[in-house]
């Protein structure tokens, strides 16, 4: 049990997606299971919580307007009570959102801040290793930003400078040399900061991946990226210089920049790359990856995250379902789960269950 | 409902184009003006008309005033060898409200942005270099906001000024990136000015 395991004890949704009004207490249970047939709005409940995670747009990356209850113009709202602090996110005029902690309006991106990090898995992640490098990279960066608060800022700034640099070349005419250098210097600085953070988090994660909970497969991860690799070989300041020179010369052939990097996984039990494994094994590796992240956060930051797992039991036999529940209990964090009737393993006694009607 | 070319829809349309005013507030503003013609509407018409004819952009610093060069540029007490560079006139006014800066200003007329197509040629950069020389400036204070564009503009200006050997500082913002000078309260602006750092 980690020293601090944050618990959401109350959730209220108003005019949100399929819910006109939804309210529930969790009694600060560590497992919260939302059950119901497809179309009853289970995922919407987890999505509402995910709005307080990395990026502030939730796990469907939804625009403000999309979160309306179908066919309604009324503004939506989400209120979460986490360890006696109330976090509110509401739609406001002009396609904007208002984020409040207790009664004070915040200018920052919605999040539980220092109080709790959010990690999530959705059915989309079942195919993570068959998916694009971008999907895996974002999955990993979401975790790195739970670890380093500045990471998402570097990612945004890097992305901005990269688009600026492209716009500069596409604008036609002669490129202002000073302007280009200012942009490339900033780009190189953010690139090295991103790569160094990724490397540091990956190194710490490997230990937990090698010793999985329950009978999840041991795994290891590798970062494929030029800046990440150079940062493992040289001091950061030299990598920054080298990258800047390459940007200046336009010598970027074969150079995987931070926005092109990939994260690959090895199933250590099979000694095979995850994308070569069966779909069941792939799902187990992704789950083991998320569990390792949760354990690392709890151990290093003395603060357990909150996990959102959308339909984690599908395609798992009863033994694996039981192993997952056992591993989740061992974590000690609060875990929100959905299930559409595929769960046949017995639930731990302390589970808070909520059945949604069609 | 009235025809589109009647005066009321035209008024609502132009009001809605003002910053911070949407369709709903434009209706409220129009009603307010029309109900108080003598107290508000006619004085506003006079003030707008005077502003349109009398307010000009200062050829020296880019400030808005009724005289050119502006009152700040002709005030001898302002000849302090300090020059404060801002993006817009609104920022100049924010610093004046703070009241802690006693030197002269230079309005760039925007921030560099490759994505919005704002190029160095569109900013008053050559004028800045010649004013620094002509006024015998010893310190240039970059009072640009902490956004991505504010940061690159600060570095760009710093680079252009480097050959002149003039000390270049920037405001010390304890504000999150994206903070706009214009929206800060006056005492924060003064504190940032007092705690400025070398670029
Ligand atoms: Zn002037």
Q: Which of A283, A302, A321 is the C-terminal boundary of a domain?
A: A302
| Beta-carbon contacts of residue B54 (< 8 Å; ≥ 6 apart) | B66
**Partner-chain residue, chosen from A94, A163, A182, that has the shortest CB–CB distance to B152:** A182
Q: Whole-number mean pLDDT of chain B? A: 87
d(CA A179, CA A8): 48
| Residue B124 confidence (pLDDT) | 96
Question: Which stretches of chain A sit within 8 Å of chain B by CB?
Answer: 93-94, 107-108, 153, 157, 160-161, 163-165, 167-168, 171, 176, 178-179, 181-183, 185-186
CA dihedral sign of residues A283, A285, A287, A289:
negative
Ion ligand 1 — residues with CB < 5 Å: B 58, 60-61, 63, 69-70, 73
Interatomic CA distance for residues A217 and A284, integer angstroms = 7
Peptide bond into B69 cis (omega under 30): yes
Domain of A178, CATH number, reads 1.20.1050.90
Lowest mean pLDDT across A254-268, A335-349, B61-75, B168-182? B168-182
* DSSP structure string for A41-98: SHHHHHHHHHTTSTTSSTTTT--GGGGBPTT--SPPEEEEEETTEEEEEEEETTTEEE
Segment A178-202, tens digit of pLDDT: 999 999 999 999 999 999 999 999 9
Task: Check residue A93 and give its pLDDT.
Answer: 81
Nearest C-alpha in B relative to A181: B156
Look at residue A208 and tell me whether its pLDDT is greater than 50: yes
**Nearest residue, CB atoms, B176 vs list A107, A171, A176:** A107
Q: In what order do the strands lie in the sheet with A306-309?
A: A118-121, A306-309, A335-339, A31-35, A352-355
Could you tell me what percent of chain A has a pLDDT over 70? 99
B181 has a pLDDT exceeding 70: no
The pLDDT of residue B4: 53
- Where does the pLDDT of residue A207 fall: very low under 50, low under 70, confident under 90, or very high at 90 and above? very high
Q: A63 with A112, same domain?
A: yes
For the cut 80, the answer to whether the pLDDT of residue A165 exceeds it is: yes
Domains B8-54 and B64-198 alike in fold: no
Which pLDDT score is estimated for B174? 47
Q: Does B48 touch chain A (CB under 8 A)?
A: no
pLDDT band at residue B5 under the 50/70/90 scheme = low
Q: Model confidence over A20-56: pLDDT tens digits?
A: 999 999 999 999 999 999 889 999 999 999 999 887 8
Residues B139 and B135: their CA atoms lie apart, in Å, by: 11
Distance from CA of B7 to the nearest CA of A (A): 27
Residues A135 and A280 placed together within one structural domain of the fold: yes
What is the reported pLDDT for A71?
80
Same domain for A169 and A240, yes or no, is yes
Sheet holding B82-86, edge to edge: B104-107, B82-86, B139-142, B167-170, B197-198
Mind listing the pLDDT tens digit for each residue in B40-96?
999 999 999 999 999 999 999 999 999 999 999 999 999 899 999 999 999 999 889
Cα A48 from Cα A77, distance rounded (Å):
9
Q: Give the CATH number, domain containing residue A1.
A: 3.40.50.300
Instruction: Tell how far CA A256 is from the center of its chain.
Output: 22
Q: What is the pLDDT of residue A9?
A: 95
CB atoms A164 and B114 under 8 Å: yes
Q: Are residues A125 and A111 both part of a single domain?
A: no
Reported as a pLDDT band with limits 50, 70 and 90, residue A302 is confident
Are residues A183 and B119, on separate chains, in Cβ contact within 8 Å? no
> Structural domain boundaries of chain B?
8-54, 64-198
The reply to whether A19 and A94 lie within a common domain is yes
Q: Kindly give the distance from the C-alpha atom of residue B28 to the centroid of ligand 1, in angstroms, as a whole number.
A: 36
Q: Are residues A101 and A131 in the same domain?
A: no
Tokens encoding A54 = 């990395």
Q: Verify that A265 and A354 share a domain, yes or no.
A: no
Q: What is the pLDDT of residues A243-276, one digit of tens each?
A: 999 999 999 999 999 999 999 999 999 999 999 9
> What is the rounded average pLDDT of the residues A351-357?
92
Are A259 and A318 within one domain?
Answer: no
**Which among B22, B120, B177 is the nearest to A94, CB-wise?**
B22
pLDDT at B175: 42
Both A286 and A346 in one domain: the answer is no
Do A282 and A253 share a structural domain?
yes
Which of A296, A234, A231 lies closest to A258, judged by CA?
A231
pLDDT of residue B8: 87
- At residue A10, φ and ψ (nearest 5 deg) are -150, 140
Does B156 sit within 8 Å of A179, measured CB to CB?
Answer: yes
Residue A290 token pair:
């998320």
Lowest mean pLDDT among A254-258, A341-345, B37-41, B171-175: B171-175
pTM over 0.90: no
Return the higher-pLDDT residue of A301 and A123: A123
Answer whether CATH 3.30.1330 is correct for domain B8-54: no
What is the number of helices (H) and of strands (E) in chain A?
8, 14
- Residues A264 and A141 occupy one common structural domain: yes
Q: Is the dihedral of CA B153, B94, A99, A30 positive or negative?
A: positive
Residue B175 near chain A (CB below 8 Å): no
User: Is residue B177 within 8 angstroms of chain A, CB to CB?
Assistant: yes
Check: CB of residue A231 under 8 Å from CB of residue A199: yes
pLDDT at B180: 58
**Cα A350 from Cα A329, distance rounded (Å):** 10
Q: What is the pLDDT of residue B6?
A: 67
What pLDDT, on a 0 to 100 scale, did the predictor assign at position B176?
Answer: 38
**Tens digit of each residue's pLDDT (9 = 90 or more) over A108-144:** 889 998 889 899 999 999 999 999 999 999 999 999 9
- pLDDT tens digits along B80-137: 999 999 999 999 998 898 888 999 999 999 999 999 999 999 999 999 999 999 999 9
Q: Quick: pLDDT tens for A309-323.
A: 999 998 888 988 999
Q: How far is A338 from chain B (nearest CA, A)?
A: 37
Taking a C-beta distance cutoff of 8 angstroms, is the pair A183, B152 a contact?
yes
* Best residue in B114, B117, B183 for a mutation probing chain A (most A CBs within 10 Å): B114
Looking at every residue in chain A, the average pLDDT score rounds to 92
pLDDT above 90 covers a percentage of chain A that reads: 76
Query: Is the minimum CB–CB distance between B152 and chain A shorter than 8 Å?
Result: yes
pLDDT score at A2? 46
What is the CB neighbour count within 10 angstroms for residue A354? Answer: 17
Q: From chain A, pick out residues whose CB is under 8 angstroms from the CB of B128.
A: none
What is the reported pLDDT for B178? 38
| CA-wise closest residue to A305 among A296, A314, A313 | A296
Query: Which of these ranges, A63-72, A246-255, A283-292, has the smallest mean pLDDT?
Result: A63-72
Range in A76-80, A108-112, A226-230, B192-196 the model is least confident about: B192-196
Last residue of one domain, picked from the residues A278, A302, A326: A302
pLDDT at B77: 95
Nearest neighbour of A182 by CB, restricted to B117, B119, B155: B155
Residue B93 contacts residue B116 (beta carbons within 8 Å): no
Q: Does B155 touch chain A (CB under 8 A)?
A: yes
Q: Do A160 and B113 count as a contact with CB atoms less than 8 A apart?
A: no
pLDDT at B1: 45
pLDDT at B26 over 50: yes
Identify the CATH assignment for B64-198 out of 3.30.700.30, 3.30.70.980, 3.40.1360.10, 3.30.572.10: 3.40.1360.10
Return the pLDDT at A70: 80
| Co-location of A156 and A111 in the same domain | no
What confidence tier does B179 reach under pLDDT thresholds 50, 70, 90? very low
Nearest to A186 among B117, B120, B152 (CB): B152
Distances in Å between the Cα of A284 and the Cα atoms of A33, A124, A128, A142, B114 are 20, 14, 11, 19, 45
Domain count, chain A: 2
Number of alpha carbons in the 13 Å side-chain half-sphere of residue A288: 29
Residue B156 pLDDT more than 80?
yes
Which residues span the domain enclosing A241? 120-302
Q: Number of A:B CB contacts under 8 A? A: 47
């Amino acid at each position: 049990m980690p020293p601090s395991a944050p618990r959401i004890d109350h959730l209220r949704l108003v005019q949100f997606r399929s819910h006109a009004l939804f309210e529930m207490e969790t009694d600060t249970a560590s497992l919260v299971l939302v059950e119901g047939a497809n179309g009853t709005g289970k995922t919407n409940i987890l999505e509402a919580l995910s709005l307080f995670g990395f990026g502030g747009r939730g796990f469907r990356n939804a625009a403000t307007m999309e979160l309306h209850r179908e066919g309604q113009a009324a503004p939506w709202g989400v209120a979460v009570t986490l360890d006696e602090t109330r976090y509110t996110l509401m739609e406001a005029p002009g396609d904007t959102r208002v984020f409040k902690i207790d009664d004070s309006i915040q200018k920052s991106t919605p999040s539980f801040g220092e109080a709790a990090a959010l990690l999530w898995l959705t059915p989309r992640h079942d195919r993570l290793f068959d998916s694009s490098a971008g999907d895996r990279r974002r999955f990993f960066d979401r975790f790195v930003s739970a670890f380093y608060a500045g990471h998402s800022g570097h990612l945004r700034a890097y992305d901005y400078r990269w688009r600026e640099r492209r716009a500069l070349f596409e604008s036609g005419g002669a490129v202002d040399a000073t302007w280009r250098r200012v942009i490339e210097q900033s780009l190189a600085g953010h690139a090295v900061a991103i790569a160094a953070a990724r490397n540091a988090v990956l190194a710490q994660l490997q230990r937990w991946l090698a010793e999985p909970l329950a009978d999840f497969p041991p795994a290891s991860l590798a970062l494929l990226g030029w800046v990440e690799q150079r940062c493992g070989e040289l001091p950061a300041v030299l990598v920054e210089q080298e990258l800047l020179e390459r940007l200046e010369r336009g010598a970027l052939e074969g150079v995987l920049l931070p926005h092109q990097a990939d994260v690959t996984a090895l199933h250590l039990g099979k000694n095979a790359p995850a994308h070569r494994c069966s779909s069941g094994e792939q799902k187990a590796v992704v789950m083991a990856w998320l569990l390792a992240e949760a354990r690392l956060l709890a151990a290093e930051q003395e603060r357990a995250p909150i996990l959102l797992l959308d339909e984690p039991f599908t395609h798992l036999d009863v033994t694996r379902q039981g192993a997952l529940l056992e591993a989740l209990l061992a974590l000690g964090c609060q875990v929100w789960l959905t299930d559409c009737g595929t769960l046949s393993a017995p639930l731990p006694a302390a589970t808070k269950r909520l059945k949604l009607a069609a | 409902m009235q025809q589109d070319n009647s005066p009321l829809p035209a008024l609502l349309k132009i009001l809605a184009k003002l910053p911070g005013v949407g369709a709903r507030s434009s209706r409220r503003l129009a009603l307010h003006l029309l109900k108080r013609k003598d107290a508000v509407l006619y004085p506003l018409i006079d003030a707008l008309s005077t502003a349109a004819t009398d307010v000009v952009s200062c050829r020296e610093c880019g400030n808005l005033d009724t005289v050119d060069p502006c009152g700040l540029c002709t005030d001898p007490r302002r000849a302090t060898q300090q020059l404060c560079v801002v993006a817009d006139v609104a920022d100049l006014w924010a610093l004046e409200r703070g009241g802690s800066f006693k030197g002269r200003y230079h309005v760039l007329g925007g921030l560099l942005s490759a994505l919005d197509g704002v190029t160095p040629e569109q900013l008053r950069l050559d004028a800045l270099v010649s004013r620094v020389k002509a006024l015998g400036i010893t310190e240039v204070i970059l009072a640009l906001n902490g956004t991505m564009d504010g940061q690159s503009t600060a570095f760009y200006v710093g680079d252009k000024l480097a050959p002149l050997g003039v000390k270049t500082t920037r405001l010390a913002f304890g504000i999150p990136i994206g903070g706009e000078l214009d929206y800060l309260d006056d005492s924060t602006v003064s504190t940032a000015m007092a705690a400025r750092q070398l670029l």
